[in-house]
A and B are shown apart, each in its own frame.
Chain A
């Protein structure tokens, strides 16, 4: 199994190089992308099985023992998130093959998409703080290029905000790594787990909070989220969808990983719970104020991040299990919603609630495809979002944190309100006679796009049906997170 561990990082990188060389052979690029991501998905599943049996799979890159070489770790949490992410990457790639916006720039899209996949996998699997920085950069650089795919004026304008904010966050990340190294003399996370615990609490907490801010920018938590709704909606749909599903979750992952592995002695945290509540509220209010599908959905990303952070703030097994479950569900649901948003734009020529109405009468299937993830997002039963929210509500009540539970329930209602705004605006009403999308629309392959979307919607239902086993493994993952010693013992030679 150890042998498989670098695969999700290395295979896409190799394939990206190859894909770059196949610049003019779009078909080969597609086949390569699908094959590689399929293989990586298989490898991830194998890793998950192994991680769940043995607790964690670890390997030392280059064969150098722990603090010297870089550690790769797939514990239950990492493996779970990895599997879901790779499945999304694969599904969205299928969608992208049918999507006109990405078809027009296939030569750039395919290699860079693979690099993004490598960066995401690297961020999940690395056990080294500086390598996490590098993985982030790999992922982010790829995201810059994907965000500006096509180079339209809007994209360039919003990409400036996105790139500058990301660069500032990266600089802060380097700052944090430098300060942590100054205080501890290591960057290996397992090693850090030991050494940070020996620091005086004030310095340790200051370092922990700086890192929280760094990852918080990527995760788009309050008050660091503004860049997201401005930049995401302008990219081509598949790009927005995969950003929405994965990138912020990488940030959340890093927050959870760092706070549990590096700074476990400082939680549970009222500050984090406050951030969680504020993130939920501000995000959903932002969504209510919007009038464009993709912008509404973008604000919901923020709002939903609040739920995941809430699980961390509780800092109990139940809370973290809820957070893990929420992440898994949300990756699927959010990606689906954006893909549906793209299909709406394709069918109606616009994603604005002011221009599109009555789609239900033209494409009932699309309406169903929207309804499933939308209700799931609002946490309504019997969809996956319900189980996820239930887990968090239970955990919150268990920990006597009633205020944040109350906020989470109110936000749930507001989310529902905002979803009905899309539903009533776009799907209900007299069918609008807007022309189909203009340039490049003819090149679209709608069955491919719809198929990928339907598959993901089915995935959301599958998570709901399998809520029992999924929650159980989330719970085991959460228990691991709260006992960092397990991981430390596996990584550091004794």
Chain B
């Protein structure tokens, strides 16, 4: 199965390379990868449908839990087949949809890369591997939505989609890791076989649900999906209706059987979120006049439907979910393709400008009407038996307080679905208020063909549900071991489910007939801000917040930087020193009167440097400090050090003078009183801290220093009496080597700075 993924990657690279030469035909080349996948899946299908899943694992970074484990079971076969099959059709469609241009190769490459990633999600049997492919679909989706990158709206929509789904993905990663640690494995099949029950399973699943909800555009994260419609239609058809948005649903379907009952919040949360999404999406779809947006909200609604069905986590529900997943993919992809054809041939996709298209585009209209009818849940079309099954489950009950909510919600949602399906089909193809005589030319065969295939399938599965049953039943059994015995049927007799279906369609008809009243009502009822506005405000807040924080901490002023560094250096250790440091037992104030005298003079000179107002005076005081310290070195017993200090100080004075001669005599600018006090305070704190720390550190010493060794070895082993010099040139010669390197580089730097011409001299 890894080979399939790699094949897609290879196809993507090929498309990228050949895009310029082949033009839109490059999509046909790219279509080879999903085509091979269809073949391969079909080849494995018999065994899998019999309940014998195929496993495959490749160790990537096992100690991190990263294992490329794949598993093809009935459910994976269903979803994977859809991904690959619709992938082929979309590519064919795209080869006629796109015009020759620089972006074609990129679009084909990204589309096939996406197909590979999506296939990866479905086939992966490892939580982390799912995450890998999950984020890959987010990235490819980002690049695909923004493929027309010169449009600002496309860029913004791409970012919106990426942030929401990518963010959800990160939450999901957190959840995966938690779940993996509770279970002791990341292998999905093992976790599902023996679900962990530790205290962190709840939080883990909550995080995973966030990821699933964002990806499947569930309320309140749904705002990105309509925006993503700014992508070219083949992309919308594939990513944002048939495949990627189903990733979240897919994950819920996988996890629900194991956790829906065990985790208290799962069922109410998922069911309520799903229903809310279903109703909200359907409601919004009733209002849209852009056919593509209408379908987008319809997709949101249908995703809510599937989330609800799978979320319950019981066999009948799961079975219904799998059936809807299949039929939705068929009709929704067809509908998107039709919208693309309309847009392509009629030059608009606005309902207000369209009407009676069946005259100009009879075949297209037929395809559209069949697909829309399937969406509406009319009999003899694929969705009907699936929906029946769902109503059956809903009316069957057994979920306590959720029962009435589910029944009403699902029927209501289906009514809305029927209403916008009618509106779609009527408004553009059959009747239509615009009734503008369109001069649309018939579409190319490659444009219509794929939609035709899909609609034909909708009819076939509607007439003979047993065909759908062949794949749906094993899919449900793969999720639920005890889902056997459930089957789709054309006719169940006059059951309560049939009544529910009739009610849904009937209410749908009423809503459709009274559509203008509905729109007026919608305008009046708008209380919640649209999701996209919430997102926009969040981004604005983030940007402003970033400016605020950065403006505060990164204020560009060197004195403040230095002050913060110094205070940090004092505060962190000081806390411990005050808490537990001990001062020395014996106090020696000074060893000789001479030493006392020199210290006083040195301190005086140091104060002098700080208060001097003239540069030269300050430098002279600095010299005083240096010489004072040198004398202290002598007293301490360090003649080499003292000599060096004397000479260095002298040379430093000379350099100072060389530089200062070009600068004003006095220091410029008088800082404010407040900053003066602040500086004094910091200076005082640092001074006290260093003194105190020095005393504490010295008091903490217990043993002798390593210098005993130096004194002992210097003459006999290194042949020198001056131990300091021996240390410098022998014991620790590599220090000295580094030190002269510093000198050398500094010399080079000085020369470069002084000699390089000053270009921007003012």
Measured CB to CB, the residues of A under 8 A from B are: 6, 9, 13, 16-17, 20, 61-62, 64, 67-70, 105, 108, 111-112, 115, 118-119, 122, 130-131, 134-135, 137-138, 141-142, 144-145, 148-153, 156, 160-161, 164-165, 168-169, 172, 175, 178-186, 188, 191, 195, 198-203, 205-207, 209-210, 212-214, 216-217, 223-224, 226-227, 229-230, 271, 282, 285-286, 288-290, 358, 360-361, 364, 375, 380-382, 386-387, 390-391, 393-394, 397-398, 405-406, 409-410, 412-414, 416-417, 420, 424, 427-430, 467-468, 471-472, 475
Contacts and interface: CB of A to CB of B under 8 A. Distances in A.
A364 to B, nearest CB: 8
Given A108-B748, A112-B745, A390-B66, 15 more contacts: A69-B731, A134-B738, A185-B707, A202-B580, A203-B581, A223-B553, A224-B565, A230-B554, A271-B572, A286-B550, A390-B65, A393-B177, A417-B159, A420-B142, A428-B155
Contacts of A185: 701, 703-707
A206 B704 contact: no
Contact of B136 (A289, A381, A391, A420): A381
Interface string B705-749: 111011001000000000000000011111101110110111011
Contact of A226 (B139, B561, B731): B561
Interface stretch (B165-173, B253-261, B418-426, B427-435): B165-173
B63 interface: yes
B86 to A, nearest CB: 25
B68 to A, nearest CB: 10
Contacts of A183: 697-698, 700-701
A427 B547 CA distance: 24
Interface string B547-569: 10111011110100110111011
A288 B731 contact: no
B65 A131 contact: no
Given A148-B752, A468-B61, A61 B701 contact: no
Given A108-B748, A203-B697, A223 B63 contact: no
Contacts, number: 314
A472 B63 contact: yes
Contacts of B545: 285
A417 B545 CA distance: 14
A160 B162 contact: no
Contact of A134 (B562, B705, B739): B739
B742 A141 contact: yes
Contacts of B142: 420
Contact of B732 (A20, A70, A289): A70
A214 B573 CA distance: 12
A61 B737 CA distance: 12
Q: Chain A at the B interface: mostly helix, strand, loop or mixed?
A: helix
A310 to B, nearest CB: 14
Contacts of B561: 161, 165, 226-227
A314 to B, nearest CB: 14
A137 B139 contact: no
B149 A199 contact: no
B59 interface: yes
B250 to A, nearest CB: 18
Q: Which of B163, B550, B580, B690: most chain A Cβ within 10 A?
A: B550
Contacts of A202: 576-577, 579-582
The majority secondary structure among interface residues of chain B is: helix
Given A141-B749, A209-B572, A394-B181, A188 B706 contact: yes
B64 A224 contact: no
A381 B132 contact: yes
Given A112-B748, A148-B752, A472-B63, A68 B697 contact: no
Given A391-B64, A394-B65, A468-B62, A161 B558 contact: yes
Interface stretch (B221-229, B345-353, B753-761): B753-761
Contact of A289 (B170, B546, B696, B748): B546
Interface string B681-702: 0000000001001101110111
A148 B136 contact: no
B709 A67 contact: yes
Contact of A203 (B61, B135, B577, B706): B577
A226 B149 contact: no
The 3 closest A-B pairs by CB, nearest first: A202-B580, A185-B705, A428-B149
A223 B735 contact: no
A141 B739 CA distance: 10
**Chain A CB within 10 Å — which of B149, B171, B693, B700 has the most?**
B700
